[in-house]
Amino acid sequence: MAVHSLFHSQPQFSGFMKPCRFEGQVSSLEVRGRIPPAINGVFYRVMPDPAQVPFIENDPWFNGDGNVSAFHVHDSRVDFRQRYVRTEKFVKERQAGKALLGKYRNKYTDAVEFTVRSTANTNIFPFAGKLLACKEDSPAYRVNPRTLATEGLETFNGELPSCTFTAHPKICPDTGEMLCMGYEAKGDGTPDVCYFNVSPEGKVKEVVWLVAPVVALIHDFAFTENYVLFPLIPQTCDLERLKKGGEHWQWDPTIPFYVGVLPRKGAKGTDVKWFRAPNAFPGHTVNAFENEKGDIVFDLPSTDRNVFFWWPDKDGNAPEPSSIHAQLLRFTIDPKTKNLDLPPAEVLSKSDIEFPRIDDRFQGKSHSLAYFDLLDPSLGTDFARIMRPDVVGGGHPVYNALGKYNYKTNKMEAYCAGQTHLMQEPVLVPRSKDCEEGDGWLVALVNNYETMGSELHIVDTKDMSKAVAIVYLPVRLRAGLHGNWVDGWELDMLE
Ligand SMILES: [Fe+2]
């Protein structure tokens, strides 16, 4: 008889966060409104979705198995498919009929030995005709974009230089190369960072090894024409703590927010400069570019509070979750200066935002629009209904709108899906290959807490006041992390 057969009643496993555990396909989902016929492609996203009941106490919400959703939008219809990534963890645990992987990123707590501990649950990223199911502690798994079948670890023909691979690789719109990095790149607790890039054909090109000033979380990064930027979140790792069965991460409020700046072409690891700013939790990067003076402009959401409040500081201190508020900051960095203390960042918007997206054609270049998940208490959301602890919680991010920030007017427009709705990360679907910046539709999964159902909302970026179409799912999908849009013409190339 199974010892662990019920998910815990903790908030991260209850209400909307109860594991979904569905695999399968449903054609012609219900639609209210009309999906613009010009939308033709696939929205891929991945959610942490424990396939087995964890044996770890209070397992964090994003330690579950990566379950990939694909929404194929065509002819004003949506066909849906969902399938778990067959990671080593998933396969071994399914065979055993129970969880075997221990604590988040602590192999010393596992029930059996794993070669790769990836949950493949953080991003599903299209590259070179395949999808990369990413978890930053491991190499990515390669997934078939049509069937969602797992094809194996992506080692780039055995040339993957790092034992870890970021969940946020970038595509340079000029060269088509994929910019990649791994941190703790020589194993748990190592300060080594590996930057590398991969040609559009999948060949590893440049590899640069750096040493970070602290062993800290580098969840996302950014690039410009001539530089690569590595923002360090002050969640720090200590190997001895891991060996004692402790947590991978511990918040350190005493260290700066470091930004590593590495020349992008022909650099050595010792060329990196680690700039410093006051302690903060930088979120995902919006973008970076070089201005006319040659300075690096770096935009990102950031907060002075520990967003991962379930991993407190060494004394157990953590912020009250509702007090965490990330603003849109702009750092301007002179890459040639010897003064490594950054000038104060400019606050571009005080709105509480995260999960930024820009028009990907402007990656590394000056951009004038950005889209976000947004928390705006003035939008009439019935938080008393939504925020019941049995319905939402456990670190699941709470955003009640999509935000559109216009850099020219400094205005943040909001799309609010309804009084009982929270948003997941949006993707931008360009109106055409050569449309103006940011023009098209936002597509985002929405949690409806009245029906406890999942919906896909499609919003024209030119009119954020309403959705042009709402697609209803017959299954509730748990909070996800990241996703990407693959346009039809790219999909054809993948066949
Ligand atoms: Fe992320």
* Ligand 1 mean position, distance from CA 4 (Å): 30
The per-residue pLDDT for 495 is 45
Q: How far is the CA of 11 from the centre of ligand 1 (A)?
A: 21
Distance in Å, CA 280 to ligand 1 centroid: 17
Alpha-carbon Rg for the chain, nearest whole angstrom, is: 21
- Residue 119 alpha carbon to ligand 1 centre in Å: 14
Give the C-alpha separation, 125 to 178, whole Å.
11
The first and second tokens of residue 419, run together, are 């009084």
Residue 284 CA, ligand 1 centroid: distance in Å = 6
Q: Ligand 1 centroid vs 122 CA: distance in angstroms?
A: 7
H/E element holding 489? helix 488-494
Which residue positions form the known binding site?
168, 219, 284, 482
Query: 394 C-alpha vs ligand 1 centroid, how far in Å?
Result: 17
Instruction: Find where tokens 């190997």 sit.
Output: 239
Which residues, in sequence order, are CB contacts of 453 under 8 Å at separation 6+?
472, 473, 476
- Are 459 and 439 in contact by the 8 Å Cβ rule? The answer is no
Residues 6+ apart with CB under 8 A from 327: 301, 302, 303, 347, 348, 349, 350, 351, 352, 353
CA of 75 to the centre of ligand 1 (A): 31
Residue 341's Cβ-count burial label (10 Å; 0-12, 13-18, 19+) is exposed
CA dist., res. 41 & res. 43, Å (int): 7
168 C-alpha to center of ligand 1: Å? 7
- The 10 Å CB-count burial string (b at 16+, else e) for 155-164 is ebeeebbbbb
Single-letter code of the amino acid located at 45: R
Ligand 1 centroid – CA 132 distance (Å): 14
Cα–ligand 1 centroid distance for 183 (angstroms): 14
Task: Give the whole-angstrom CA distance, residue 287 versus residue 300.
Answer: 7
Q: How far, in Å, is the centroid of ligand 1 from the Cα of 384?
A: 28
CA of 53 to the centre of ligand 1 (A): 24
The gap from C-alpha 292 to its chain's centroid, in whole angstroms, comes to 31
Centre of ligand 1 from the C-alpha of residue 165, in Å: 13
Question: 337 Cβ partners below 8 Å, 6+ apart?
Answer: none
Q: How far is the CA of 220 from the centre of ligand 1 (A)?
A: 7
- Report the separation in Å between the CA atom of 230 and the middle of ligand 1, taken as the mean of its atom positions: 14
Q: How much distance in Å is there from the Cα of 482 to the middle of ligand 1?
A: 6
Map tokens 């157990």 to a residue. 316
- d(Cα 418, Cα 447) in Å, to the nearest integer? 10
What's the pLDDT at 246? 97
Task: State in Å: Cα 270 to ligand 1 middle.
Answer: 27
Residue 492 has a pLDDT of 66
Amino acid in the structure at residue 210: L
pLDDT digits (tens, 9 = 90+) for 6-51: 898 888 898 889 999 999 999 999 999 999 999 999 999 999 999 9
At residue 395, the pLDDT reads 73
* CA of residue 285 to ligand 1 center, whole Å: 9
CA of 481 to the centre of ligand 1 (A): 7
Buried b (16+ CB within 10 A) or exposed e, 289-302: bbeeeebbbbbbbb
How many angstroms separate the alpha carbon of residue 21 from the centre of ligand 1?
22
User: For the chain, which residues score pLDDT lower than 50?
Assistant: 495
| Distance of CA 2 from the midpoint of ligand 1 (Å) | 34
**Where is the binding site for Fe cation, in residues?**
168, 219, 284, 482
275 CA → ligand 1 middle, Å: 22
Distances (CA, A) of 253 to 192, 216, 236, 281, 331: 22, 12, 10, 10, 20
Q: How far is the CA of 224 from the centre of ligand 1 (A)?
A: 19
